[in-house]
């Protein structure tokens, strides 16, 4: 049965454009913890919480600041990660193979990847 991932902005519920959708899907291949990651070309911001920093959160270009404020308000006392001023670009086009290989070698759940 065919399926697709659905990403929505945490604040307004808008879905990403097709190119940003691909960028968001590629980020699922990386094991990130407490990082902000840009997802272009739609200027989305992703908070990869995991663990004590909660779940992964998504924000469209208009609500990037709201996402950072939410994360800092709820998780800012737990460590320095929510206060990071840097964002990281999403995966470069040739990095998916490396990320998939890394995921298959770890002991974490793969959810069909690999």
Confidence of residue 108 (pLDDT cuts 50, 70, 90): low
Which of 26, 23, 80, 28 has the alpha carbon at shortest distance from 53?
Answer: 80
pLDDT in tens, 48-107: 988 899 999 999 999 999 999 999 999 999 999 999 888 777 655 556 666 667 666 655
- Given CA atoms 15, 109, 46, 78 in this order, what sign does their dihedral have? positive
pLDDT at 36 over 80: yes
The pLDDT, as a whole number, for residue 51 is 86
pLDDT at 111 over 70: no
- pTM score: 0.77
The pLDDT, as a whole number, for residue 27 is 85
Confidence of residue 2 (pLDDT cuts 50, 70, 90): confident
The pLDDT, as a whole number, for residue 95 is 63
Confidence of residue 113 (pLDDT cuts 50, 70, 90): very low
SS3 for the chain, per residue?
Answer: CCCCCCCCCCCCCCCCCHHHHHHHHHHCCCCCCCEEEEECCCCEEEEECCHHHCCCEEECHHHHHHHHHHHHHHHCCCCCHHHCCCCECCCCHHHHHHHHHHHHHCCCCCCCCC
Listed in sequence order, the residues at least 6 apart from 100 whose beta carbon sits closer than 8 Å to its beta carbon are: 29, 113, 114
């Amino acid at each position: 049965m065919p399926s697709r991932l659905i990403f929505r902005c945490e604040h307004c519920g808008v879905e990403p454009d097709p190119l940003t959708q691909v960028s968001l899907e590629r980020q699922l291949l990386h094991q990130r913890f407490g990082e902000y990651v840009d997802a272009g070309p739609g200027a989305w911001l992703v908070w990869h919480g995991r663990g004590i920093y909660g779940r992964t959160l998504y924000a469209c270009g208009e609500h990037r600041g709201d996402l950072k404020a939410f994360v800092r308000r709820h998780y800012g006392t737990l460590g320095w990660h929510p206060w990071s001023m840097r964002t990281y670009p999403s995966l470069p086009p040739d990095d998916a193979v490396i990320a998939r290989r890394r995921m298959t070698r770890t002991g974490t759940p793969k959810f069909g990847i690999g």
